[in-house]
Amino acid sequence: MIRVLSFILLVFLSWNCKSKQESLIEEIQELLEEQSYEKASGMLKDYLVKPKSDDEVLSSEKPETPRIVELSYDRKRLIYLEDSKLNWRDASDGSNGSKSLDEVPASLAVSLNANFALAEYPMTNGCRLFAISLKNNDLLYESGAQISCRNRGGISDDGSKIYYFVDNQLYEEKTVEPRTPKLVVSKEKITPPFAGLKARFFLYPIGKDFLLFSGNAGSYYLYYFQPEKKSVEKIDQEVISPLIYYGTGDSAYYLGGSIGRLHLRRLQLGKGKPSSSKLFTISRKEINPWKLPGKNEFVSNYSGKVHLWGPSRKSQVLPLLCERIWLVDQNKVLCENEKGGLYLTNLDFPEEDWRILKLYEEARDK
């Protein structure tokens, strides 16, 4: 009797010590033997979509309006807007917080260190602007300007000035009364590639200065804007997307080339005008390149999958299903899944997760 009880206890402990992944793998293997491919695929997908026990869940519910995510230039400070709630998380000191806004902004642009934000609120014929402090309540300034919602403005890192576009021209305004907007760059100096198309303009902070995109329809010029000098210089004229992907403080990446032939390009940041260099041709699944530190490797997401890739390595699908990703701090992936959840996860995956990914691909393709 003692031997029987000991054997039962041993079996129970052995079963109880199995990891969640191991139990799932065993269940899936049984389903595959029964040819229940659809059920197996659904269970595996559900595992790959959800955050794991050691992930940091920032939000588990899908907001009513599309979530807006912004990062500081060093990727250490994360800002995410969910409807009218503005949230932040700082990897430097571990602080986090949130504040409720009176309305839901149409868009959001942050300062260099993401201590301030410029929010655009939709009106009947355009948008109005608010400058907001993200660390305290020192700043809540409403601009008198009514602007097009098509563009992306900017805000200085001390929150003292905002920048926005009116009639294809760039204006500067101090965030104190009285409202005194000043023209700093005329439209002749920031012309788009095609004058006949309605242009769009985008600002991104680099140091005390900004990168400025001008264009539309997959064709943009990239300028270097210096507010103190009120000057602009063209950096590149073969840009297909007005998006910047910050590196780890001294670099940023963007997409150049032409439709059908995409090039990854790097901006080396420092004092003065950034230098642009053409790196290599990339595919569609690599079009949102987030650079890993210390390696010539990137992560991107495409069609719900997350890819690890580089110029000298074969692209590898990671055991992680995300609709959108951002690389936060050094190498933490911020994942927005198809359910609308938002969480931070590391790029270190146990062997069981790789097995689950392989089983998912096998079951899905049956």
pLDDT for 12 equals 44
Residues 6+ apart with CB under 8 A from 298: 286, 289, 290, 291, 292, 308, 309, 310
Q: How many CB atoms lie within 10 A of CB 128?
A: 18
Q: Residue 344: enclosing H or E segment and its boundaries?
A: strand 342-345
Task: Quote the distance between the C-alpha of residue 344 and its chain's center.
Answer: 12
Q: What confidence tens digit (pLDDT) does each residue in 251-273 have?
A: 999 999 877 789 999 999 988 89
Q: What confidence tens digit (pLDDT) does each residue in 21-50 have?
A: 888 888 878 888 788 889 988 999 999 999
Rounded Cα distance between 69 and 77, Å, is 11
Angle at 290 between CA 286 and CA 291, to 5 degrees: 110
Long-range CB contact pairs, 317-322, < 8 A, 24+: 317/357, 318/347, 318/349, 318/357, 319/48, 319/349, 319/353, 319/354, 319/356, 319/357, 320/48, 320/345, 320/349, 321/45, 321/48, 321/49
CB 139 within 8 A of CB 131: yes
Mean pLDDT of 241-253: 91
Rounded Cα distance between 347 and 316, Å, is 12
- For the ranges 180-184, 185-189, 283-287, the lowest mean pLDDT is seen at 283-287
SS3 247: coil
Mean pLDDT of 282-293: 92
Q: Considering the chain, what percentage of its residues have pLDDT values greater than 90?
A: 73
Q: What confidence tens digit (pLDDT) does each residue in 110-133 have?
A: 999 999 999 999 998 899 999 999
Q: How many CB atoms lie within 10 A of CB 285?
A: 15
Query: Can the peptide bond before residue 122 be classed as cis, meaning omega within 30 degrees of 0?
Result: no
Instruction: Determine whether 155 is exposed, middle or buried from the number of CB atoms within 10 Å of its CB (0-12, 13-18, 19+).
Output: buried
Whether residue 13 is predicted with pLDDT greater than 60 in this model: the reply is no
**Backbone phi, psi, residue 128, to 5°:** -110, 160
Confidence bin at 18 (pLDDT 50/70/90): low
Buried b (16+ CB within 10 A) or exposed e, 229-254: eeebeebbebbbbbbbbbbbeebbbb
pLDDT mean across residues, the chain: 90
Confidence bin at 88 (pLDDT 50/70/90): very high
Give the strands of the sheet with 342-345, arranged side by side.
56-59, 342-345, 332-336, 324-328
| 207: nearest Cα among 147, 158, 253 | 158
pLDDT for 185 equals 97
- For the ranges 6-15, 260-269, 295-304, the lowest mean pLDDT is seen at 6-15
Mean pLDDT of 312-328: 95
Report CA torsion sign: 193, 124, 180, 100: negative
Q: Among all chains, which residue has been given the structure tokens 């571990």?
A: 94
Q: Residue 7: enclosing H or E segment and its boundaries?
A: helix 2-16
Q: Where are the domains of the chain?
A: 21-67+288-365
- For the ranges 84-88, 143-147, 324-328, the lowest mean pLDDT is seen at 143-147
pLDDT for 16 equals 45
Q: How many CB atoms lie within 10 A of CB 365?
A: 8
Determine if residue 136 is left, alpha or beta; phi over 0 gives left, psi from -120 to 50 gives alpha, anything else beta: beta
pLDDT for 196 equals 79
Q: Which two tokens stand for residue 7?
A: 């054997």
Rounded Cα distance between 200 and 198, Å, is 7
- 65 versus 249: which is more confidently predicted? 65
**CA–CA distance from 308 to each of 49, 156, 290, 353 (Å)?**
17, 34, 10, 15
Instruction: Determine whether 335 is exposed, middle or buried from the number of CB atoms within 10 Å of its CB (0-12, 13-18, 19+).
Output: buried
Quote the pTM value. 0.89
CB 177 within 8 A of CB 164: no
